[in-house]
Amino acid sequence: MKSTIVAPANIAFVKYWGARDLSSALPLDPSISMTLSVCATTTTVEALPEGAADSIELIDAGGTARVAPERFAARVLAHLERLRAHIGTSRGFRVATRNSFPAAAGLASSASGFAALATAVSSALGDKPSGRELSIRARLSGSGSASRSVLGGYVEWPAPPGDDPDAPAAALFPASHWDLADVIAVVETAEKDVASIDGHRRAATSPHFETRRNLLPTRLAAVRLAIEERRLDLLGPVLEEEAVELHLIAMSSRPPIFYWRPATLAVLEAIRRARQQGLSAWATMDAGANVHTICERSAAKDVAQLLRAVAGVEEVIEDHVGNGPVSAPAHLF
Ligand code: DP6
């Protein structure tokens, strides 16, 4: 059986940064995200006979299949291994995957990639897991943010209570609840120097890590309320504060991690200035140099125009809240 799934990336409003157990991506704290639409990964999985070797291809923007780079292939193979053990199968899998956006540049390619892989493997086996179970299967990749990308709209991934590892992500509100945009200023397309996993590993070495943890309950409550009441004036300041603190922690970890580039600051400055002129748009960044600008969908064109004018911005992607993974009729092989 063959299945093709298109799974979206997501942008965290409250970040997952710091893990209780990195090998199985168990977070120390809850995170809240918005599932996207445009930034997505398409993955075709064919279930092979029992004991067959896995194969992984990467399809480039022009549609040409390439052998997957070693590090990427190793992460995919490890995820397939864990999925096999979790589901209870010994089948091999042929996998082909394609991104709609620059991979590994803080644009959550792992989140969409592993959400697509977990969903496509499940459906290639003829399995129809619940959203809850899919979230657990996506998390087995080691990419915690993937556990949020299997669901649409506004999603919360709780910290696991006690020793229970399986606290899956759950939808707070569907995409139809609030039509928000994420206008992404791409200032860097190269792979980042330090992977998120190393950021999580070093996070607790920052003197600011515990301070942020203490602030999180209030911050999470504010974000939940802002989404519920569709209040960008309430959401915006909190999500910007969260993003800056993630980078503050990264920059003060030992050894420190600097994700920002000069153009990151130029974009932040442009957004701040535009806000003073009355534009309601707020910035957030994941573990990378690119800036995600959150605004009402009706303001997205104005925001995109503003970002395109900032020196150092290579590309602007107009994305928006979306519904989560869907199956696609056209297979990649
Ligand atoms: C900064 O461990 O999920 O994006 O495996 O690279 O996707 P990848 O990272 P992961 O950490 C995500 C960190 C973050 C914040 C977030 O998305 O919550």
Is the pTM higher than 0.75? The answer reads yes
Out of 63-67, 260-264, 284-288, 306-310, least confident range: 63-67
pLDDT (0 to 100) of residue 104: 47
Q: How far is the CA of 42 from the centre of ligand 1 (A)?
A: 19
Out of 13-27, 114-128, 201-215, 239-253, least confident range: 13-27
Q: How far apart are CA 53 and CA 49, in angstroms?
A: 9
Q: Where are the alpha helices (DSSP H) in the chain?
A: 70-87, 109-124, 131-139, 146-149, 196-203, 209-228, 232-251, 262-276, 300-308
Q: How far apart are CA 143 and CA 136, in angstroms?
A: 11
264: Cβ–Cβ under 8 A, 6 or more apart, which residues? 187, 285, 289, 290, 291
Out of 158-167, 205-214, 255-264, 275-284, least confident range: 158-167
- Ligand 1: which residue has its CA nearest to atom 2? 143
Instruction: Report the interhelical angle of 232-251 vs 209-228 (nearest 10°).
Output: 160
Tokens of 268: 């932040």
Contact between 76 and 221 (Cβ < 8 Å): no
Q: How confident is the model at residue 62 (pLDDT cuts 50, 70, 90)?
A: confident
Among 41, 143, 145, say which to mutate for ligand 1: greatest number of ligand atoms within 8 Å of CB: 145
Q: Which atom of ligand 1 is nearest to the CA of 146?
A: 3
Q: What is the DSSP string of 82-107?
A: HHHHHHT--EEEEEEEEESS-TTSSS
pLDDT averaged over the chain? 94
Q: Which residues line ligand 1 (CB under 6 A)?
A: 12, 15-17, 31, 108, 110-111, 143-145, 196-197, 200, 246, 286-287
Among 101, 192, 196, 197, say which to mutate for ligand 1: greatest number of ligand atoms within 8 Å of CB: 196
Q: CA of 151: how far to CAs of 134, 145, 201, in Å?
A: 9, 11, 26
pLDDT (0 to 100) of residue 298: 98
Q: How confident is the model at residue 165 (pLDDT cuts 50, 70, 90)?
A: low
pLDDT in tens, 134-148: 999 999 999 999 999
Q: How confident is the model at residue 207 (pLDDT cuts 50, 70, 90)?
A: very high
Percent of the chain with pLDDT over 70: 97
Among 13, 16, 76, say which to mutate for ligand 1: greatest number of ligand atoms within 8 Å of CB: 16
- Mean pLDDT throughout 103-112? 67
**Which one has a higher pLDDT value, 106 or 32?**
32
Tokens of 293: 């600008």
pLDDT (0 to 100) of residue 163: 66
- Count CA atoms closer than 13 A to 333's CA, side-chain side: 21
